[in-house]
Chain A
Amino acid sequence: MRRSREPIIWALFGGGGMASAFFMPVLILVLFIAMPLGWVQGAPFAELQALVRHPLTRLGLFVFISLCWFHWAHRFRYTLYDGLQLSHLNELVAVITYGIAIAGTVVGAVLLWGVG
């Protein structure tokens, strides 16, 4: 019997769920709401730029966003199955959702590689 891929996919989903649960609210609050509105000063630009150009930050960000993609793929796949009753399109839905996750991971890698 062929071994199931489900545990790997579930681990990526779970990792993405945990990482985004821990980090996304504060990132959105600080970077996308508080800083544009001037509620907080934010670190000086040169420091922020040095931070995002640091290889470890870019590596961490790459791992983070790819986990987010696989988290999305897994949940969206099952929402299509349960919510829209598309379980008869199992293979197609899985190929599309995980395909988008893989594409997002590759694009993220290329873009973050070019930073700095």
Chain B
Amino acid sequence: MNPKYRPYYPRWYRKRIPIFWWLQKRSHAAFIGRELTAVFVAYAAIMLVVLVLAMDRGQAAFAEMMDWLGTPAVVAAHVLVLCILLFHTITWLNLAPMAIVVKLGDRKVPAAAVLIGHYAAWVACTGGVAWLLIWR
């Protein structure tokens, strides 16, 4: 008799899933990629605080940081970060109508209106921050 055999305790049938299963299909890779944008959101948050601290220390510290930020490798890295953050923004805003149901009285606001509203808010926030930092 097979020594592994135990009556009434059959072995479960479990298919081993490779650890990088999500690389085998485009949509799965996009899903994990979308989740990993959060790493760059955290990175950007850290860098914002670092920049604020440099601004607080004075003009010399700020100029030094701007010089470092202007070096080609750092610029290239931040262009990549920007692309990833745009991927986060677009995928996030596209999901908004599915996550948020807005009701006016007892009527549901159409999903398209919720979507357009979110993009409009993004444009407004972008313009507001740019105005604050550049043209004010």
**Which chain A residues have a beta carbon within 8 Å of chain B's beta carbons?**
14, 16-18, 20-33, 35-38, 40-43, 45, 47-49, 51-53, 61, 64-65, 68-69, 71-72, 74-76, 78-79, 82-85, 104, 108, 111-112, 115-116
A-B contact pairs, 20 of them (CB 8 A): A17-B88, A20-B85, A22-B125, A24-B41, A24-B89, A26-B126, A30-B134, A33-B82, A35-B133, A49-B56, A49-B62, A52-B52, A52-B56, A68-B41, A79-B35, A82-B22, A85-B17, A85-B19, A115-B53, A116-B56
Kindly report which residue of chain B lies nearest to residue A64, judged by CB atoms.
B45
Kindly identify which residue among A35, A76, A78 contacts B39, using a CB–CB cutoff of 8 Å: A76
State whether B44 touches A27 (Cβ < 8 A). Answer: yes
**Which chain B residues have a beta carbon within 8 Å of chain A's beta carbons?**
17, 19, 22, 32, 35-39, 41-42, 44-49, 51-53, 55-56, 58-59, 62, 66-67, 69-70, 74-75, 78-79, 81-82, 85-86, 88-89, 92-93, 99, 121-122, 125-126, 129-130, 132-136
Complex Cα distance, B55 from A83, in Å, reads: 39
Whole-angstrom distance between the Cβ of A103 and the nearest chain B Cβ? 12
User: Hey, which chain A residues are within 8 Å of B32, CB to CB?
Assistant: 79, 82-83
User: Hey, which chain B residues are within 8 Å of A42, CB to CB?
Assistant: 133-134
State whether A21 touches B88 (Cβ < 8 A). Answer: yes
State whether B86 touches A25 (Cβ < 8 A). Answer: yes
State whether B38 touches A24 (Cβ < 8 A). Answer: no
Kindly identify which residue among B48, B79, B129, B130 contacts A33, using a CB–CB cutoff of 8 Å: B79
Complex Cα distance, B100 from A34, in Å, reads: 34
State whether A25 touches B89 (Cβ < 8 A). Answer: yes
Kindly report which residue of chain B lies nearest to residue A84, judged by CB atoms.
B19
Kindly identify which residue among B35, B38, B88, B89 contacts A83, using a CB–CB cutoff of 8 Å: B35
A33-B75, A68-B45, A71-B41 given; A26·B130 CB < 8 A: yes
State whether A20 touches B59 (Cβ < 8 A). Answer: no
Complex Cα distance, B45 from A110, in Å, reads: 15
Kindly identify which residue among A51, A53, A78, A111 contacts B35, using a CB–CB cutoff of 8 Å: A78
Whole-angstrom distance between the Cβ of A59 and the nearest chain B Cβ? 13
User: Hey, which chain B residues are within 8 Å of A37, CB to CB?
Assistant: 70, 75
Which of B44, B59, B79 gathers most chain A CB within 10 Å? B44
